Amino acid sequence: MEPIRFALVGCGAWGTHHAQAIEAVPDTRLVAIVEHNEDNRRRAQAAHPAVPVFADLREMLAAVETDVVDVVLPSHLHHAVGIEALRAGKHLLIEKPLALDLRQCDDLVQAARQGAKLLAVGHEFRLSSLWGRVRQLITAGEIGEPLYALIELWRNPYRLGAGGWRYDLPRVGNWILEEPIHFFDLARWYFQDVGEPLSVYAQANSRQPDHPELQDNFSAMLRFPHGRYAVVVQTLAGWEHHQAVKITGTQGALWAAWSGAMDRTPHPQFSLKILRGERVEEVPISKASGEIFELVNEITAVANCIRTGSAPPCSGSDGRWAVAMCLKAQASVDTGKIVPLSPE
């Protein structure tokens, strides 16, 4: 069986982990790297001496046979690079957010559909041994019907990103699209059997009065059908990286927790507990949980989807929904009002 050939576009801090994950999966092969930064190109070539490294995407596409393009770039570049890859006849794995607005999301979804190509969005929490186990327990009816969810992150400030892009609003879109987008996607996924979210109300503030757009503290409430709701909370004014998911249902409750010195630590602490009746039980987690582990799972899943023609863990439609929820949440922050949600 021939390996699925991956071309990586963007080999900075997180792209380096993508490259390592591709090389770690037995039936995938890293066949090319595209990186515009000269220092990053040198590092990529040193780390992967057998892999050709390019400065230009079109040059790579003309020179190398690849099955899937893996895009790990600042958010404002996702649309243009993703469209180019799809129109070149390649499958696409693209980091979140899918794009910065819904028109761009629709362009990518349509291009994938027209070319009959896979479009997978990098919401790797869906591949997590911890966060994914929560979804499995909900689906199995272990806590009855979900009624309420709290998804919370306490962490240190964001990294600047290459060239400071993460702190530049035109390039990042908004900070809700940067990390809370993961938690909006989790909430929608956990309540998937209830129905799509109906509205969002959000508030945020910043420690920097002259930069209110850099939201150090953010909270949002997503309303689902039948009175169900989820609360998403993030602070960038804390320390280390501590995430929790707490869900109550008609017949029980779940509490998942993850902690590390940083988000990409190889040695995290994590746990999952379930309330059944009046008894609290530990749920065993068989594999390590964390971004760097989930990324390997994501690469494995994408390769399998390409082989089988099955749907990816997070589709273009899912990625569009995540962007829509974040954009509506920012509108709620800006207006102070509850904002309706719809798939349109």
pLDDT tens-place string over residues 144-164: 999 999 999 999 999 998 889
| pLDDT (0 to 100) of residue 20 | 97
Task: Tell me how far apart the alpha carbons of residues 8 and 4 are, in angstroms, rounded to a whole number.
Answer: 13
Single pTM value for the model: 0.96
Bond prior to 97 in cis (omega within 30° of 0): yes
Label residue 196 exposed, middle or buried (CB < 10 Å: 0-12, 13-18, 19+): middle
In this prediction, residue 277 has a pLDDT band, given cuts at 50, 70 and 90, of confident
* Residue in 130, 77, 129 with CA at minimum distance from that of residue 104: 77
Q: pLDDT per residue over 72-83, tens digit each?
A: 999 999 999 999
Task: Tell me how far apart the alpha carbons of residues 326 and 332 are, in angstroms, rounded to a whole number.
Answer: 10
Task: Specify the pairing of strand 217-223 against strand 199-205.
Answer: antiparallel
Class of domain 129-285+323-340: alpha beta
Task: Tell me how far apart the alpha carbons of residues 181 and 189 are, in angstroms, rounded to a whole number.
Answer: 12
Mean pLDDT confidence for 74-103: 97
The domains spanning 4-125+295-314 and 129-285+323-340 adopt the same CATH topology: no
| pLDDT (0 to 100) of residue 343 | 59
| pLDDT (0 to 100) of residue 99 | 98
Cβ–Cβ < 8 Å for 122, 95: yes
Task: Tell me how far apart the alpha carbons of residues 134 and 213 are, in angstroms, rounded to a whole number.
Answer: 32
Q: pLDDT per residue over 161-179, tens digit each?
A: 888 999 998 999 999 999 9
In this prediction, residue 342 has a pLDDT band, given cuts at 50, 70 and 90, of confident
pLDDT of 194 > 80? The answer is yes
Cβ–Cβ < 8 Å for 200, 325: yes
Cβ–Cβ < 8 Å for 57, 81: yes
| pLDDT (0 to 100) of residue 178 | 94
Write down the residue that tokens 């990294």 correspond to: 159
Domain range annotation of the chain: 4-125+295-314, 129-285+323-340
* Residue in 100, 101, 92 with CA at minimum distance from that of residue 8: 92
Cβ–Cβ < 8 Å for 170, 76: yes
The CATH code of domain 4-125+295-314 reads: 3.40.50.720
